[in-house]
Amino acid sequence: MHVFFYFLFGFMVALIGVIPPGLLNLTAAKITVQENRRNAFLFSLGVVIIVGFQTYLSLIFARYLDKHPELIQLLQNVALGIFLCITIYFLWIAKDTRLLKEKEVYKSKKRRFFLGIFLSSINLFPLPYWVYMSITFSSFGWFNFTKTFIIMCVIGSVIGTLLMLILYAQFFNYAKEKHKAFPVNMNYIVGGITGVISVVMLIKILNDL
């Protein structure tokens, strides 16, 4: 029963983390719409391989931080800088997702898996996310850094992320078949989410001073 709880914890934390629209889930959706669901699935498989590796590294690092709380403040400052940069990018620099140009259509049908690996590698969201979540739940006594817990969390994280990517792809494919448009620029949603996180982190840092 405890092993299943470890898996469920990793599954739910990963599922919640992938719900906000971002680089990976929107790319999976775009591949589904412009190509097919098979290519989107191959892309998702490439993504979750890196996600599993990132989750494992994050939990190992979080275990170290749990024993050295003086480093948590430094990590919060670094994370704040990263989230501010991401917010600026998505709100003012990234292309409008409502504009679909021909040159943006993926032509290749053979490299979706490696595209997933590449984009997942440059997407660093899982690293601070898992460190923060594991340390937070550990402070409540709901998480421990045993080897079994970490392994089951990694498995849960991989399956949870894969499921959410598939759901994104299915939803956008359904919308395509129904000829529904998406009038909202998804970049504004991502930038808004990271902006809120930045404000919360800044308030917490100021309160700790």
What does the pLDDT average to over 35-41?
83
Per the model's pLDDT, the better-predicted residue between 98 and 198 turns out to be 198
Please give the mean pLDDT across all residues of the chain.
76
141: left (phi over 0), alpha (psi -120 to 50) or beta: left
Q: What is the pTM of this model?
A: 0.69
* Tokens 């598939």 -> residue: 166
Q: By three-state DSSP, how is residue 159 classified?
A: helix
- Does residue 146 carry a pLDDT above 70? yes
Residue 176's pLDDT is 63
Residue 104's pLDDT is 46
Q: Where are the domains of the chain?
A: 2-75+98-181
pLDDT band at 154 (very low <50, low <70, confident <90, very high): very high
- Does residue 139 carry a pLDDT above 80? no
Distances in Å between the Cα of 99 and the Cα atoms of 96, 143, 170, 182 are 6, 43, 21, 10
Per the model's pLDDT, the better-predicted residue between 107 and 63 turns out to be 63
What does the pLDDT average to over 148-169?
89
Q: Are 169 and 31 in contact (CB under 8 A)?
A: yes
What does the pLDDT average to over 179-208?
68
Residue 48's pLDDT is 93
The pLDDT tens digits for 91-117 are: 787 666 555 444 444 455 567 888 888
Residue 187's pLDDT is 65
Q: Are 178 and 67 in contact (CB under 8 A)?
A: no
% residues pLDDT > 90 (the chain)? 12
pLDDT band at 180 (very low <50, low <70, confident <90, very high): low
- Does residue 183 carry a pLDDT above 70? no
Q: Are 96 and 185 in contact (CB under 8 A)?
A: yes
Residue 15's pLDDT is 82
Residue 190's pLDDT is 62
- Does residue 21 carry a pLDDT above 70? no
Residue 207's Cα: distance from chain center in Å? 28
